[in-house]
Amino acid sequence: MSIRYIDEIKDLKGKKVFIRVDFNVPQDDKGAITEDTRIVGAVPTIKYVLEQGGKVVLASHLGRPKGEKKAKYSMAPATTRLSELLGKPVIQAPDCFGPDVDGLVNAMKPGDAVMLENVRFYPGEEKNDAGFAEKLANGCEIYVNDAFAVSHRAHASVEAITKHIPVIAAGFLMRNEMTFFDKAMQNPVRPLVAILGGAKVSGKLEVLETLINKVDKVVVGGGMAFTFLKAMGYNVGKSLVEDELIPTARTIMETARDKGVMFYLPVDCVVANAFEANATNFITTAQEIPAGWMALDIGPATTTLFAETLRDAKTVIWNGPMGVFEMDAFCRGTFAMAEAVANCFATTIIGGGDTDSAVRKAGVENRVSYISTGGGAFLELLEGKTLPGVNALEVPAMKGDL
């Protein structure tokens, strides 16, 4: 894959540089940002362009305003936080385009930055509308995609806009994402271990089918494990199961066996009589989940087993928690997995919002090699798909002189 990166462009001074970032960050009821990883991740690219004398026009989405202007989805809080991180003011535009925005952009001096309002305030963003993309471009001379997390979407500010700006490049965050993905999937140091969790098999079915052909070991926890356990003939009580995927689960396990891929499932779990934080719970083997009870976390024997699978690992990919870690009674398995990943002597790559949150709550975020900013984009890469936003940056789409 051949992509031009922002530091390969020779002269940025005085150029209008449109940077697509992903500032879709969580906020509390009062609009205060509660987690700013994605904003922090974009700072190196923004700072580099500003220091080179570029005029930065930033664009992002926030939430799901569904094509309508809604104050609670304004980019203003993210703009304020970015200003703090950069140590200089970033101007918040009142809209994505129009006379007022034109005035702000045209008045910029080298080293200035303007944040456009939420691009999803307009339906043209999600429709990948060429006309909307042209309005966003607004005379910019360089386009930079530093928003890996939305690059699996063919949206106007991600894909269509590349046809309206002469020079196309990727930012440093995008480079980190693609570099670590290549380390994990294109030329991994083996053994390569994939850890998958979360609620449903259906959300990761294509990932599993792809990984079986690439990895040495697969570890499956979380709610998705119980479809596999039921496929093996175990009674799983009221645990989450996708019955329609039981035949598929059997096929995946058979394929793993045929290819010599080690496939690990929970051997014990924490079960509860209700999906509630204060529900009665106890530990039982995976073969003996009582009728009427549901598994909400992996048990201590499983955490030991799963940690042991990482002992000789050289590359580890993890997507999806091992249980309902948001509830204190059912967080131990996920946190133990986070500790095991942090302790192993391997390149460790974390993907997905829930997994990112779990790793941070476990306090080991500084002991893993890389935490991806993408959820859906990360999974689609694992599935072997081409991301529209990345594809738009490849050599055939490159225009203009360096």
Catalytic residue among 376, 384, 385, 400: 376
How much is the pLDDT for 29?
84
Catalytic residue among 53, 63, 353, 400: 353
Picking from 119, 11, 126, the residue whose alpha carbon sits closest to that of residue 57 is 119
376 is catalytic: yes
361 is catalytic: no
**Is the separation of the CB atoms in 284 and 290 below 8 Å?**
yes
Catalytic residue among 38, 81, 230, 332: 38
How much is the pLDDT for 382?
81
Q: With 50 as the cut, is the pLDDT of residue 398 above it?
A: no
How much is the pLDDT for 174?
93
CA–CA dist 81, 98 (Å, integer): 25
pLDDT tens sequence across 5-50 = 999 998 999 999 999 999 999 888 888 898 898 999 999 999 999 9
238 is catalytic: no
How much is the pLDDT for 1?
52
CA–CA dist 393, 3 (Å, integer): 6
Q: How confident is the model at residue 395 (pLDDT cuts 50, 70, 90)?
A: low
CA distances (Å), origin 58, targets 95, 128, 309, 346? 12, 18, 43, 36
175 is catalytic: no
Q: How confident is the model at residue 191 (pLDDT cuts 50, 70, 90)?
A: very high
Q: How confident is the model at residue 377 (pLDDT cuts 50, 70, 90)?
A: confident
Six-digit token pair at 337?
A: 């997995």
Q: With 70 as the cut, is the pLDDT of residue 245 above it?
A: yes
Q: Determine what percent of the chain is predicted with pLDDT higher than 70.
A: 98
**Is the separation of the CB atoms in 217 and 333 below 8 Å?**
no
Query: What is the DSSP pairing of strand 268-272 with strand 281-285?
Result: antiparallel
Q: Can you tell me the mean pLDDT for 335-359?
A: 92
- Over the chain, what HEC string results? CCECEHHHCCCCCCCEEEEECCCCCCECCCCCECCCHHHHHHHHHHHHHHHCCCEEEEECCCCCCCCCCCHHHCCHHHHHHHHHHHCCCCEECCCCCCHHHHHHHHCCCCCCEEECCCHHHCHHHHCCCHHHHHHHHCCCCEEEECCHHHCCCCCCCCCHHHHCCCEEEECHHHHHHHHHHHHHHHCCCCCEEEEECCCCCHHHHHHHHHHCCCCCEEEECCCCHHHHHHHCCCCCCCCCCCHHHHHHHHHHHHHHHHHCCEEECCCEEEEECCCCCCCCEEEEECCCCCCCCEEEEECHHHHHHHHHHCCCCCEEEEECCCCCCCCHHHCHHHHHHHHHHHHCCCEEEECCHHHHHHHHHCCCHHHCCEECCCCHHHHHHHCCCCCHHHHCCEHHHCCCCC
Q: Produce one character per residue of 160-174: b if its CB has 16 or more CB atoms within 10 Å, e if not.
A: bbbebbebbbbbbbb
Catalytic residue among 163, 200, 250, 361: 200
Mean pLDDT of the chain: 92
Six-digit token pair at 206?
A: 């294509």
Place of tokens 């997905």: 352
Q: Can you tell me the mean pLDDT for 150-162?
A: 95
Q: Which pTM value belongs to this model?
A: 0.86
Q: With 70 as the cut, is the pLDDT of residue 396 above it?
A: no
Domains and CATH numbers, the chain: 6-175 (3.40.50.1260), 188-382 (3.40.50.1260)
Burial of 266 (0-12, 13-18, 19+ CB in 10 A): buried
Q: Can you tell me the mean pLDDT for 356-382?
A: 88
Q: Can you tell me the mean pLDDT for 224-243?
A: 95
Q: Can you tell me the mean pLDDT for 280-289?
A: 95
Q: With 70 as the cut, is the pLDDT of residue 400 above it?
A: no
**Is the separation of the CB atoms in 314 and 255 below 8 Å?**
no
User: Of 107 and 179, which is predicted with more confidence?
Assistant: 107
pLDDT tens sequence across 58-113 = 999 999 999 999 999 999 999 999 999 999 999 999 999 999 999 999 999 999 99
How much is the pLDDT for 236?
95
